[in-house]
């Protein structure tokens, strides 16, 4: 029996595949390699290169492989890009999930763990954010993830496809052994950009605004170690295997760190200067996002063990310093 990981060549998906294989699971990966990296694919996983919107392709994978459950990471995930190109997000994220659910139903596969986001909440009324709070996404990206959740809910009601939707806050860090890590092109996320600056690949990091209503004026986020995040996916899979009902869980650390605090933490981990300049605010950035993750701890028995800012940055630094060009072999100039 196999677990199908959609997007298993991406940053978060590849960490899931490695942990599943560590646990002795048989893994099948589907990835179109649009943002995923071939080098991030675990050598012991069966890999099918293709697009989840291509129903004939997806059906052929379900016909060849004994798939029992699906973990779905295959989506576009950049807020800024989603505002400029909303139809790309509706097509890949929403339509892709529709095709996936149809194929699952045809093949009687009735368990799915889904990669969602704190962006479904939009600007929160208060923190910490709990699952009971309203979802009012401010970006197309967040809206497509919310629609994908609704698609799963209706599909569950009609066909009994059980799902767990995991709403991620800020994911960072890398596998401790640094075989795999974070490598986006272009890079937009805070921790990799800080560490690229530490490596001298950028002259400075630009802090997007220091006039927010926070103690040091910079935005506060809740950072969760990618390996802890994947632990929650494995716990969600066990929950569904044990007959758990469809549900939604936040995944974060319940602690907030400002952009300036993250840069300071990276300075102490790396011993590098990491020059920083203040720039304009980035459109759509809420001032504070902190998760209430008690529900995942209680219901899924999730025990995040590596989620401290120092550990996140240490593991990310191991990856970036040993792979300064990410998965690309050539040396940048």
- From 11, 18, 121, 141, active-site residue: 141
Question: Residue 161 in contact with residue 110, Cβ under 8 Å?
Answer: yes
Could you tell me the smallest distance in angstroms from the CB atom of residue 151 to ligand UDP?
23
Instruction: Choose between 205 and 236: whose C-beta lies nearer to ligand UDP.
Output: 205
Q: Which residues of 237-261 are buried (b: 16+ CB within 10 A; e: fewer)?
A: bebbeeebebbbbbbbbbbbbbbbb
249/120 Cα distance (integer angstroms): 12
**H/E run at residue 190:** helix 190-198
Instruction: Choose between 112 and 312: whose C-beta lies nearer to ligand UDP.
Output: 312
CB half-sphere exposure, 228, CA atoms < 13 A: 28
Strands 257-258 and 220-221: antiparallel
Instruction: Choose between 246 and 307: whose C-beta lies nearer to ligand UDP.
Output: 307
Q: Among 91, 206, 255, 308, which residue sits at the site for ligand UDP (rule: CB under 6 A)?
A: 206
What is the token pair recorded at 138? 């401010």
Contact between 170 and ligand UDP by CB under 6 A: the answer reads: yes
**Cβ-closest residue to ligand UDP?**
219
For ligand UDP, the binding residues in 172-191 under the rule CB under 6 A are 188-190
Contact between 219 and ligand UDP by CB under 6 A: the answer reads: yes
141 catalytic residue (yes or no) = yes
Q: Among 150, 204, 282, 328, which residue sits at the site for ligand UDP (rule: CB under 6 A)?
A: 282
Q: What is the DSSP string of 135-165?
A: ---SSHHHHHHHHHHHHHHHHHHHH--EEEE
Contact between 207 and ligand UDP by CB under 6 A: the answer reads: yes
Could you tell me the smallest distance in angstroms from the CB atom of residue 214 to ligand UDP?
10
Tell me the backbone φ, ψ of residue 66, rounded to 5 degrees: -80, 70
Could you tell me the smallest distance in angstroms from the CB atom of residue 278 to ligand UDP?
9
Instruction: Choose between 48 and 257: whose C-beta lies nearer to ligand UDP.
Output: 257
Instruction: Choose between 28 and 219: whose C-beta lies nearer to ligand UDP.
Output: 219
Could you tell me the smallest distance in angstroms from the CB atom of residue 199 to ligand UDP?
15
Q: Among 221, 225, 233, 320, which residue sits at the site for ligand UDP (rule: CB under 6 A)?
A: 221
Compute the C-alpha angle 152/143/74, nearest 5°.
60
Contact between 259 and ligand UDP by CB under 6 A: the answer reads: yes
Strand partners, 249: 166
Instruction: Choose between 12 and 161: whose C-beta lies nearer to ligand UDP.
Output: 12
Question: Residue 29 in contact with residue 21, Cβ under 8 Å?
Answer: no
Contact between 278 and ligand UDP by CB under 6 A: the answer reads: no
Question: Residue 81 in contact with residue 140, Cβ under 8 Å?
Answer: no
Q: Among 285, 294, 299, 318, which residue sits at the site for ligand UDP (rule: CB under 6 A)?
A: 285
Contact between 12 and ligand UDP by CB under 6 A: the answer reads: no
Tell me the backbone φ, ψ of residue 82, rounded to 5 degrees: -70, -25
Instruction: Choose between 188 and 325: whose C-beta lies nearer to ligand UDP.
Output: 188
Number of residues binding to ligand UDP, judged by CB under 6 A:
15
Which ranges of 207-325 would DSSP assign to H, the alpha helix?
226-241, 259-270, 294-299, 309-322
For ligand UDP, the binding residues in 46-75 under the rule CB under 6 A are none
Could you tell me the smallest distance in angstroms from the CB atom of residue 273 to ligand UDP?
17
CB half-sphere exposure, 79, CA atoms < 13 A: 16
DSSP state of 94: I
Q: What residue ranges bind ligand UDP (CB under 6 A)?
A: 79, 170, 188-190, 193, 205-208, 219, 221, 259, 282, 285
The catalytic residue positions are: 141
């Amino acid at each position: 029996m196999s677990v199908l990981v959609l997007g298993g060549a991406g940053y978060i998906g590849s960490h899931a595949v490695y942990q599943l294989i560590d646990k002795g699971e048989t893994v099948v990966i589907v990835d179109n390699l649009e943002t995923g990296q071939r080098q991030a694919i675990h050598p012991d996983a069966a890999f099918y290169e293709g697009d989840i919107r291509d129903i004939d392709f997806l059906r052929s994978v379900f016909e060849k492989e004994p798939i029992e459950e699906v973990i779905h990471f295959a989506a576009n995930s950049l807020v800024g890009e989603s505002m400029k190109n909303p139809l790309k997000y509706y097509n890949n994220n929403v339509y892709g999930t529709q095709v996936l659910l149809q194929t699952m139903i045809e093949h009687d596969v009735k368990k799915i763990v889904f990669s969602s986001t704190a962006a479904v909440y939009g600007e929160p009324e208060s923190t910490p954010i709990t699952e009971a709070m309203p979802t009012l996404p401010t970006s197309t990206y967040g809206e497509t993830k919310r629609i994908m959740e609704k698609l799963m809910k209706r599909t569950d009601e009609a066909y009994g496809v059980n799902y767990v939707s995991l709403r991620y806050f800020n994911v960072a860090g890398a596998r401790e052994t640094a075989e795999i890590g974070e490598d986006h092109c272009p890079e937009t996320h805070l921790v990799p950009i800080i560490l690229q600056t530490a490596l001298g690949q950028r002259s400075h990091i630009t802090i997007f605004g220091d006039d927010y209503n926070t103690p040091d004026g910079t935005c506060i986020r809740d950072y969760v170690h990618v390996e802890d995040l994947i632990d929650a996916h494995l716990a969600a899979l066990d929950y569904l295997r044990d007959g758990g009902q469809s549900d939604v869980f936040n995944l974060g650390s319940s602690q907030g760190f400002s952009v300036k605090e993250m840069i300071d933490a990276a300075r102490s981990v790396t011993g590098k200067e990491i020059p920083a300049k203040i720039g304009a605010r980035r459109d759509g950035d809420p001032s504070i996002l902190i998760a209430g993750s008690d529900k995942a701890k209680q219901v899924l028995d999730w025990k995040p063990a590596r989620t401290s800012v120092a550990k996140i940055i240490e593991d990310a630094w191991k990856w970036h310093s040993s792979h300064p060009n990410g998965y690309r072999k050539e040396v940048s100039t």
